[in-house]
């Protein structure tokens, strides 16, 4: 690994961090317009971020509480490191980050790193809303995982690999090669399950605004919140990048990445703007219906 | 050598002399009786020794004539052994009944002497009329002895006994008359030569003789009178009936069976099987200790009858098998009856009183384990030999019948024993010990161990058994009066030295398991230093389990393996039942273990079929019904890994066990089942096995077990039960991995074996230690303990991260390998279920750490201390193991891969530096760990820089529902925390398996309850039973 590669990777991280903020702002704006309000300026997330990390005083509930945001942000950054971002035809290209260290499975399981650390940190804060949000989040996460896992396995069977890079590589040469068209069942399962992974309405009961404040992060403010916002921003983009790489042919340039992740993200926001929030049991059973069936079909199609 | 006729001289002379002893000199009378019995014993014993050393058998012809003109007695090896046994138990019984007989008077003493003498003659006689006479003498003596106890029950029982034996004698006599009429002789050898059964009319005579002997043996179901006697008589008399009379009568049956000819073998075996199963099933509902022993005695005689029926098949092994079972029964039943007389509690639930004197509990345990056929008792070796031979000769249904009956016997005996160990005993009056009563019990208990040892030496495989660990256990047992600190140190040093000595002899696969057993054992024992006082009984049983575990690893033969397996089961049973509320769980653990062991026994028997050795390698070449054999072996081992369907014992057993026992039985013991499965799968031929359906079914079972175990864990409120269900799930992963029968599957499986040992030991030790501090298992009663026990929190945090499979900790290795293995194998749906289970696991792991350590600290825990240092030491050593495995996974996976390659050479990982490659993916464990750690430290540094002035706030410095909370109970989110998930998935939590097993047990108990109503206590009904038995056997055997 060269210094240049590290530099490019950190640059990519910086791009993703900013892109996450911008996407977040865009969609808050869309939401506001739908609700008949004018909405925030597009640079509001940066203001929030700098204001938060700039506060002079802060509190702590203990060491684990303190480490929660560290876990969360490390989770986001790590996920970025292990994800190939832009396909250039060179498996060790600058924008493939550290994807040589692991494959799709590493990415899937590392997603939990930040989630777990955050859950533990928020737990020490002792706020009931945190625990409620986490309990819901974990239950929903498990339900989302089932169709997603089936779909991922189906794609892995299709291309005989767990390497995200190779999956992207296999989809090059035109949109007709995208998994979206070569493996429609897996894609459909992912597109539906993805809504749960993104955590927008109707699957936003983890944060459940107006109900349990902002769920796990309820007790966090100031610098901690700034870190979490950064983590959230990166994770949002990375979720979208993951689905882009697996289903939508990946990206051969940053511009393509930005367009595709925007559309993927927009899909979950679009649904969220239309459908109201599910209760947890509704959410879980929803994933066990159509997405699960699609996932199983995706496996069956490629098993024989 | 003194002629055996002098047994009569001594008996009659003694009885005659007693007539001259003044009524007041009661002690003198009793001493004369004992001396006479002892003399008979010396006489028969000297014969026995002589016969063993090659002397020839002697015939005694009375009155100077040869048969058929006179009566003759035979003193051969069998007679020598059995008369000595009768006299020995007679002497002990006499000592036991010393005061009782003394108070009953000289006549009673006389009767007892005549009773023993009569049995001697019954064994020796070769004349069937003489047999009849002495049977009458024994019967009348018995009735007299029974009636001696002046309780209503005893008098009634004695009367019924007279009635029944009267009828039976009548039938016998008529049979004898017919036999004489048709053959012209009364001599057994003469009748044998005359082929009495083949003579016209002789078959009816023979039937009458045989049936009356069967009835004398109290064959089910015409045995109500016998049961009443067992229940009503003085326990000392019961012991004589069960040990001495039954032994004698059994030998009579043997003699007459030779006379009856081989065509009777089948019928004897069949009637024996009916009796064995019938009595043991009916005993299920029994609450009266002595009656229960009666049922058990009748059952054991049924088993012995089966052995007789197969004597031509067992051949030279018949005496070995028969004596092995007979002597275990003889010692154990006498011991139990005597104990019943000492404890003086009729209801088995009240036997809890026995543990007020712990050594009595030990005696009781010895007898019960001997009856069920556990090592090191003779019955274990005899049953092994019996099953091996029967399976080898294609008599599988018989084996199944025998083991089913044994299983039923285990149910009620262990239930009884469970009461003794764990029942409520505060309000029961303690019992007194009299020297003359305890002495015989102690002697028979020692005799069981000694005979067990020598029985083992009799066969080649048995002689090869390594007894050193058992002797170590015995030594620790003797040293049980020492304080914990000393015993713990001895135990640890002993295990360490033992491991050091044997590890060079083991192959890599065995070394992996042995290391888990021994190093794991030592680590969990370290936690034992936290306990104070003597911890009576803990060390012998813990070491017994480890002795069993190491024995299965070292086993060179299937016998040694099974020997170790049963030792481990016994040890772990005692460990488990030590828990406060463990009585029902101990029982269900034992029953599943016994059932599993019997499945193994049959499987190993099938492996032996057609082979001439018992070497462990025979399971690699099973040719007799191999599908069934491997299936049975796997089912047997699955009872230990608690696969779905066979798992219901585990949550309670592990959840209620003591704090340092849970990790022993969860992290360590369960691996014994895995070891067995690994051996079986290797035996099946590894990759190219020709039994595709077995691993396929096993794979699905593993996946569903993983799902069910994990889902159930999510809904537990009890922290230890949560971990227990988690173990079920984790073992499901391992089973799935192994079932794949590929390199990657096994590597994943072994990776889990190692990992599960590490993190489950950490979690169980930590949670156990926390429970010791907070005195509750309920997670919702805890909370916020991170403030009081930060080191425990760190341990649990690392443990759950490792378990969940989140990188960079070691659990991820297993996940990554499983994904690759699943893709390679094509078991996508099983894999998806397993990965979904992983997502579910995340929920219970969070629940565990959150509700115990995070959230709100309870008021009553504000001053609770960090967990004990003695728990922290092993915990942190294990954590170090997890860390090394996490950062350098190649150090574990490469050797494991090399090991697995000998069976599964295809599809190995390829290593490039620290990066592992499969054909699908890659993973650089060390690099990932470094990346994450560096990122973590950088982010932490950034946070530290920007929050220098973080102000520490107190517990309730939050706002919730518009107020600042003040009560932790109202603020701690813990109880029923996954309610939403339950609403969505309740259907998967219906305990179908438990319901099924409950229905099975209910069915058996109800059947027992209905059928046993035939024993209505009415003597006339019992006579009808006898008559019906005769009629039915007539129609069945002779034909209508």
Q: How do the domains of chain A map onto residue ranges? A: 3-303
Q: How many residues does chain B have?
A: 1040
pLDDT at A213: 67
CB pairs under 8 A between A and B: 238
For residue A149, give the nearest of B832, B854, B955 by CB distance. B832
Q: How many residues does chain A have?
A: 304
pLDDT at B962: 77
B725 against A216, higher pLDDT: B725
Q: Which two tokens stand for residue A210?
A: 């107006």
3-state SS string for B877-894 = HHHHHHHHHHHCHHHHHH
Q: Is the pLDDT of residue A47 over 90?
A: yes
Distances (CA, A) of B360 to B213, B343, B363, B366, B440: 36, 9, 5, 10, 13
Q: Is the pLDDT of residue A72 over 90?
A: yes
B596 against A198, higher pLDDT: B596
Residue B24: pLDDT band (50, 70, 90) is: confident
Interval A24-44: pLDDT, tens: 999 889 889 988 999 999 999
Q: Under a CB-based contact definition with an 8 Å cutoff, are residues B570 and B374 in contact?
A: yes
Contacts of B1024 (CB under 8 A, 6+ apart): none
Pairwise CB contact (< 8 Å): B931 & A101: yes
Q: Which two tokens stand for residue A286?
A: 């929803």
Interval B347-397: pLDDT, tens: 999 999 999 998 899 999 999 999 999 999 999 999 999 999 999 999 999
Q: Is A53 on the interface with B (CB under 8 A)?
A: yes
What percent of chain B clears pLDDT 90, i.e. is strictly above it? 82
CB-CB neighbors (< 8 A) of B960 in chain A: 127-129
Q: Is A293 on the interface with B (CB under 8 A)?
A: no
Pairwise CB contact (< 8 Å): B819 & A105: yes
Can you say whether the dihedral through the CA atoms of B971, B976, B978, B981 is positive or negative?
Answer: negative
Pairwise CB contact (< 8 Å): B927 & A101: yes
Residue of A nearest to B814 (CA): A105
The A residues from 82 to 111 touching B (CB cutoff 8 Å) are 82, 98, 100-106, 109-110
CB-CB neighbors (< 8 A) of B920 in chain A: 103, 156, 160-163
Pairwise CB contact (< 8 Å): A71 & B936: yes
CB-CB neighbors (< 8 A) of A65 in chain B: none
Q: How far apart are CA B494 and CA B489, in angstroms?
A: 8
Residue B865: pLDDT band (50, 70, 90) is: very high
For residue B831, give the nearest of A153, A279, A296 by CB distance. A153
Q: Is the pLDDT of residue A1 over 70?
A: no
pLDDT at B236: 93
Pairwise CB contact (< 8 Å): A120 & B971: no
Pairwise CB contact (< 8 Å): B823 & A153: yes
CB-CB neighbors (< 8 A) of B856 in chain A: 126
Query: Helical H runs in B185-317?
Result: 188-193, 202-216, 224-232, 235-239, 246-260, 263-282, 289-309, 311-314
Residue of A nearest to B853 (CA): A124
For residue A299, give the nearest of B829, B836, B839 by CB distance. B829
Q: Nearest to residue B868, comparing CAs of B483, B529, B524?
A: B529
Pairwise CB contact (< 8 Å): B823 & A156: yes
Pairwise CB contact (< 8 Å): B846 & A58: no
Residue A91: pLDDT band (50, 70, 90) is: confident
Pairwise CB contact (< 8 Å): B849 & A123: yes
Q: Is A189 on the interface with B (CB under 8 A)?
A: no
Q: Is A161 on the interface with B (CB under 8 A)?
A: yes
Q: Is B824 left (phi over 0), alpha (psi -120 to 50) or beta?
A: alpha
Strand-pairing partners, residue B58, are B75
Pairwise CB contact (< 8 Å): A113 & B807: yes
Residue A218: pLDDT band (50, 70, 90) is: confident
Residue of A nearest to B913 (CA): A101
For the question of whether the overall pTM of this predicted structure is more than 0.90, the answer is yes
What percent of chain B clears pLDDT 70, i.e. is strictly above it? 100
Residue of A nearest to B784 (CA): A124
**Average model confidence (pLDDT) across chain B:** 93
Over residues B110-122, mean pLDDT: 95
Pairwise CB contact (< 8 Å): B943 & A69: yes
Q: How far apart are CA B576 and CA B655, in angstroms?
A: 9
Q: How do the domains of chain B map onto residue ranges? A: 1-126, 625-989
CB-CB neighbors (< 8 A) of B823 in chain A: 153, 156-157, 160, 162
Q: How far apart are CA B785 and CA B790, in angstroms?
A: 8
Residue of B nearest to A126 (CA): B855
Evaluate whether ipTM surpasses 0.90. yes
Q: Tell me the CA end-to-end span of chain B in Å, nearest whole number.
A: 51
Strand A58-60 vs strand B950-952: parallel, antiparallel, or unpaired?
A: parallel
| Centroid of chain to Cα B972 | 44
pLDDT at B704: 96
Q: Which of A105, A205, A217 to mutate to test the interface with B (most CBs of B within 10 A)?
A: A105
Q: Is A157 on the interface with B (CB under 8 A)?
A: yes
Interval B236-257: pLDDT, tens: 999 999 999 999 999 999 999 9
The A residues from 263 to 292 touching B (CB cutoff 8 Å) are 279-281, 284-285, 288
Interval B1005-1023: pLDDT, tens: 999 999 999 998 888 999 9
Distances (CA, A) of A152 to B457, B828, B986: 60, 11, 27
Q: Nearest to residue B118, comparing CAs of B139, B101, B93?
A: B139
CB-CB neighbors (< 8 A) of B915 in chain A: 100-101
Q: Is the pLDDT of residue B757 over 90?
A: yes
Q: Is A71 on the interface with B (CB under 8 A)?
A: yes
CB-CB neighbors (< 8 A) of B985 in chain A: 284
């Amino acid at each position: 690994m060269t210094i240049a590669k590290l530099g490019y990777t950190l640059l990519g991280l910086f791009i993703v961090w900013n892109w996450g903020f911008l996407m977040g702002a865009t969609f808050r704006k869309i939401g506001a317009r739908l609700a008949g309000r004018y909405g925030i300026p597009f640079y509001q997330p940066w203001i929030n971020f700098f204001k938060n990390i700039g506060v002079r005083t802060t509190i702590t509930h203990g060491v684990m509480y303190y480490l929660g945001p560290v876990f969360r942000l490390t989770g986001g950054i790590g996920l970025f490191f292990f994800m190939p971002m832009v396909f250039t035809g060179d498996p060790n290209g600058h924008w493939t980050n550290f994807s040589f260290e692991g494959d799709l499975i590493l990415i899937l399981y590392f997603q939990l790193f930040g989630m777990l650390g955050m859950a533990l940190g928020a737990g020490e804060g002792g706020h009931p809303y945190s625990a409620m949000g986490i309990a819901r989040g974990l239950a929903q996460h498990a339900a989302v995982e089932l169709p997603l896992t089936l779909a991922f396995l189906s794609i892995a069977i299709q291309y005989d690999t767990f390497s995200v890079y190779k999956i992207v590589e296999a989809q090059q040469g035109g949109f007709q090669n995208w998994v979206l068209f070569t493996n429609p069942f897996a894609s459909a399962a992912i597109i539906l399950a993805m809504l749960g992974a993104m955590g927008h309405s109707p699957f936003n009961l983890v944060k459940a605004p107006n109900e349990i404040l902002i769920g796990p992060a309820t007790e966090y403010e100031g610098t901690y919140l700034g870190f979490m916002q950064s983590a959230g921003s990166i994770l949002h983009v990375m979720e979208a990048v993951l689905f882009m790489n697996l289903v939508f042919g990946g990206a051969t340039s940053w511009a393509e990445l930005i367009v595709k992740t925007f559309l993927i993200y927009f899909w979950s926001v679009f649904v969220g703007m239309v459908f109201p929030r599910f209760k947890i049991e509704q959410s879980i059973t929803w994933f066990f219906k159509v997405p699960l069936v699609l996932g199983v079909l995706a496996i069956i199609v490629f098993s024989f | 050598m003194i002629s055996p006729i002098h047994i009569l001289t001594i008996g009659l002379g003694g009885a005659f002399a007693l007539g001259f002893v003044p009524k007041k000199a009661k002690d003198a009378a009793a001493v004369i009786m004992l001396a006479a019995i002892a003399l008979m014993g010396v006489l028969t014993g000297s014969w026995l020794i002589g016969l063993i050393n090659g002397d020839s058998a002697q015939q005694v012809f009375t009155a100077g004539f040869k048969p058929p003109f006179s009566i003759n007695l035979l003193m051969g090896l069998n007679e020598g052994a059995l008369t000595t046994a009768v006299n020995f138990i007679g002497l002990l019984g006499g000592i036991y009944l010393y005061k009782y007989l003394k108070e009953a008077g000289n006549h009673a003493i006389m009767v007892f002497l005549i009773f023993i003498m009569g049995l001697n003659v019954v064994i020796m006689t070769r004349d069937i009329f003489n047999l009849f006479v002495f049977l009458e003498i024994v019967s009348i003596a018995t009735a007299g002895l029974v009636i001696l106890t002046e309780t209503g029950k005893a008098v009634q029982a004695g009367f019924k006994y007279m009635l029944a034996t009267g009828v039976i004698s009548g039938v016998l006599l008529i049979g004898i008359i017919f036999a004489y009429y048709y053959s012209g002789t009364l001599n057994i050898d003469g009748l044998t030569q005359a082929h009495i059964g083949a003579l016209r009319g002789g078959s009816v005579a023979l039937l009458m003789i045989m049936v009356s002997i069967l009835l004398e043996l109290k064959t089910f179901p015409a045995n109500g009178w016998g049961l009443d006697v067992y229940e009503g008589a003085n326990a000392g008399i019961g012991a004589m009936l069960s040990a001495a009379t039954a032994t004698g009568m059994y030998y009579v049956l043997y003699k007459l069976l030779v006379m009856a000819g081989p065509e009777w073998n089948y019928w004897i075996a069949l009637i024996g099987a009916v009796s064995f199963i019938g009595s043991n099933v009916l005993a299920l509902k029994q609450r009266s200790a002595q009656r229960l022993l009666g049922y058990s005695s009748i059952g054991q005689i049924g088993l012995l009858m089966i052995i007789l029926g197969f004597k031509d098949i067992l051949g030279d092994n018949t005496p070995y098998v028969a004596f092995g079972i007979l002597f275990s029964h003889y010692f154990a039943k006498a011991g139990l009856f005597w104990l019943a007389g000492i404890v003086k509690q009729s209801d088995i639930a009240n036997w809890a009183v026995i543990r007020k004197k712990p050594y009595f509990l030990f005696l009781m345990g010895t007898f019960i384990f001997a009856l069920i056929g556990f090592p090191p008792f003779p019955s274990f070796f005899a049953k092994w030999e019996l099953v091996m031979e029967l399976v080898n000769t294609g008599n599988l249904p018989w084996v199944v019948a025998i083991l089913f009956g044994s299983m039923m016997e285990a149910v009620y005996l262990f239930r009884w024993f469970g009461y003794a160990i764990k029942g409520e005993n505060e309000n029961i009056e303690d019992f007194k010990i009299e020297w003359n009563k305890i002495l015989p019990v102690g002697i028979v208990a020692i005799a069981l161990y000694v005979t067990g040892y020598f029985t083992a030496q009799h066969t080649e495989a048995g002689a090869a058994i390594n007894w050193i660990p058992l002797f170590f256990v015995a030594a620790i047992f003797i040293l049980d009066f020492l304080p914990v600190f000393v015993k713990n140190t001895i135990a640890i040093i002993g295990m360490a030295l033992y491991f050091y000595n044997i590890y060079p002899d083991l192959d890599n696969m065995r070394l992996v398991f042995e290391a888990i057993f021994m190093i794991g054992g030592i680590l969990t024992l370290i936690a034992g230093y936290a306990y104070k006082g003597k911890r009576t009984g803990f060390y012998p049983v813990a070491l017994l389990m480890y002795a069993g575990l190491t024995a299965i690893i070292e086993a060179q033969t299937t016998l040694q393996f099974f020997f170790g397996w049963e030792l481990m089961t016994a040890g772990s049973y005692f460990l488990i039942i030590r828990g406060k509320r463990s009585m029902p769980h101990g029982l269900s653990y034992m029953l599943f273990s016994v059932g599993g062991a019997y499945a193994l026994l049959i499987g190993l028997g099938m492996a032996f079929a057609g082979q001439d050795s018992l070497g462990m390698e025979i399971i690699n070449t099973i040719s007799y019904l191999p599908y069934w054999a491997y299936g049975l072996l796997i089912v047997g081992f699955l009872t230990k890994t608690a696969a779905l369907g066979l798992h219901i014992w585990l949550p309670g057993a592990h959840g209620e066990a003591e704090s340092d026992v849970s990790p022993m039985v969860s992290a360590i013991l369960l691996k014994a089942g895995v070891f067995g499965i690994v051996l079986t799968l290797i035996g099946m031929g590894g990759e190219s096995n020709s039994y595709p359906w077995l691993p396929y079914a096993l794979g699905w079972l593993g996946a569903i077990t993983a799902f069910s175990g994990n889902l159930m864990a999510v809904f537990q409120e009890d922290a230890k039960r949560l971990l227990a269900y988690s173990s079920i799930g984790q073992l499901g992963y391992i089973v799935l991995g192994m079932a794949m029968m590929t390199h990657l599957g096994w590597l994943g499986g072994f990776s889990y074996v190692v990992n599960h040992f590490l993190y489950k030991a950490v979690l169980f030790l930590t949670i156990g230690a926390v429970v010791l501090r907070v005195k509750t298992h309920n997670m919702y009663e805890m909370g916020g303990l991170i403030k009081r026990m930060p080191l425990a929190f760190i341990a649990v945090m690392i443990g759950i991260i490792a378990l969940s499979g989140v990188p960079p900790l070691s659990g991820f290795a297993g996940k990554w390998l499983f994904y690759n293995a699943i893709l390679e194998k094509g078991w996508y749906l099983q894999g998806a279920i397993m990965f979904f289970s992983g997502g579910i696991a995340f929920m219970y792991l969070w629940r565990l750490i959150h509700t115990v350590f995070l959230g709100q600290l309870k008021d009553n825990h504000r001053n609770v201390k960090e967990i004990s240092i003695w728990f922290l030491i092993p915990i942190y050593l294990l954590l170090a193991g997890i860390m090394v495995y996490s950062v350098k996974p190649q150090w574990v996976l490469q050797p494991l891969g090399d090991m697995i390659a000998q069976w599964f050479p295809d599809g190995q990982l390829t290593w490039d530096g620290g990066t592992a490659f499969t054909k699908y993916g890659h993973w650089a464990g060390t690099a990932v760990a470094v990346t994450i750690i560096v990122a973590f430290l950088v982010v932490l540094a950034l946070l530290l820089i920007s929050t220098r002035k973080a102000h520490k706030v107190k517990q309730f410095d939050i706002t919730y529902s518009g107020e600042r909370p003040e009560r932790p109970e109202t603020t701690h989110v813990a109880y029923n925390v996954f309610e939403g998930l339950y609403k969505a998935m309740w259907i998967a939590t219906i305990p179908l398996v438990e319901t099924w097993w409950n229905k099975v047990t209910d069915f058996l108990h109800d059947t027992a309850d209905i059928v046993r109503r035939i024993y209505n206590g009415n003597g006339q009904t019992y006579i009808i039973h006898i008559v019906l038995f005769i009629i039915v056997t007539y129609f069945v055997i002779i034909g209508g």
